[in-house]
Amino acid sequence: MNKLKQPKLTLVGAGPGDPDLITLKGVRALQTADVVLYDALVHPDLLQHAPESAERVFVGKRPWQPTGPANRCEFAQTDINHLIVQYAHSHGHVVRLKGGDPFVFGRGFEELVFAEDCGVETAVVPGLSSSYSVPALAGIPLTCRGVSESFWVLTGTTKDHRLSADIRAAVQSTATLVILMGMKHLPEIVALLSDAGREKVPMAIIQNGSRADERMAMAPASAILGAVEGHKLTNPAIIVIGEVVRLHSEWPLAGITVSDAAVEALALISR
């Protein structure tokens, strides 16, 4: 055990991808790190904030990409939990750098509890969640007066790799829906919208949100699968469903009219 340094874990949210979107407190935590355990969605530039002496350990999960020798592997969560504790006791301050916010579908709380149970001091630095920051940066508000008064954030895939049952209830709502980790189940999501009579509801798929290589497709639910195929969109991507998508500057698409609610909302905004 390192007798000079108190074992400590700091969970840091790295934000949606753009390295400038990490918080100042997150940068300060990195600057005092002895070890950085980072995920696949973390921009590599963020690692430069850590001291040269700090160890940098990739522990990412990217099941949609083939396993390879360089930065492409999949760690079991239990392995990550144990690595955090081992490095904290052997090195001192461990910064666990996670994409988005560590407490929004990031399993950060599991890591926090495990570390505390093992006698490690803990701290949390929240990050910008991709659930709301990516649509905003792409020009889509999640709420807008006269269009949407609430939004749901859902995971598209449960721990057993199935579509979340919550989505079946969510598609009945007029709220904006933001689905993370749902691309694998996009055909099922579209089918649920169709069953609910919402084939015309606008959808947006945003890949690599906030990054230089961001790409997006927009279409009604009935046409979104074709749009995704045409744009060759894959994970990591965020699914946005709701009338707010019509407020994007590039909507309406050919042959698709803006809803009365959206027209009214735009008129209110322009006053």
Per-residue pLDDT, 129: 98
Is 39 known to be catalytic?
A: yes
Domain with CATH 3.30.950.10 in the chain: 130-270
d(CA 17, CA 129): 10
How, if at all, do strands 176-180 and 237-241 pair? antiparallel
User: Tokens standing for 253?
Assistant: 């698409």
Catalytic: which of 8, 18, 34, 39?
39
Question: Which one of the listed residues 5, 25, 61, 184 is annotated catalytic?
Answer: 61
Report the run of H or E that residue 104 belongs to, with start and end: none
Specify the pLDDT at position 71.
43
- In the chain, CATH 3.40.1010.10 covers 8-125
What CATH number matches the domain at 130-270, 3.40.630.30, 3.30.950.10, 3.30.70.1450, 1.40.20.10?
3.30.950.10
Cα–Cα dist 161/258, whole Å: 36
Catalytic residue among 18, 34, 98, 181: 181
Residues of the chain whose pLDDT is less than 70? 1-4, 62-74, 252-271
* Candidate CATH numbers 3.90.950.20, 3.40.50.1820, 3.40.1010.10, 3.90.70.10; the one for domain 8-125: 3.40.1010.10
Residue 195 bears catalytic tag: no
Per-residue model confidence (pLDDT) at position 160: 87
Q: What is the pLDDT of residue 75?
A: 78
pLDDT score at 254:
44
Instruction: Confirm whether 160 is a catalytic residue.
Output: no
Per-residue pLDDT, 159: 85
Whether the model pTM is above 0.85: yes
CA angle 181, 183, 186 (to 5 degrees): 125
CA 269 – CA 267 distance, rounded (Å): 5
> Which residue pairs, CB below 8 angstroms and at least 24 apart, start in 215-220?
216/138, 218/245, 218/248, 218/250, 218/251, 218/253, 219/253, 220/256
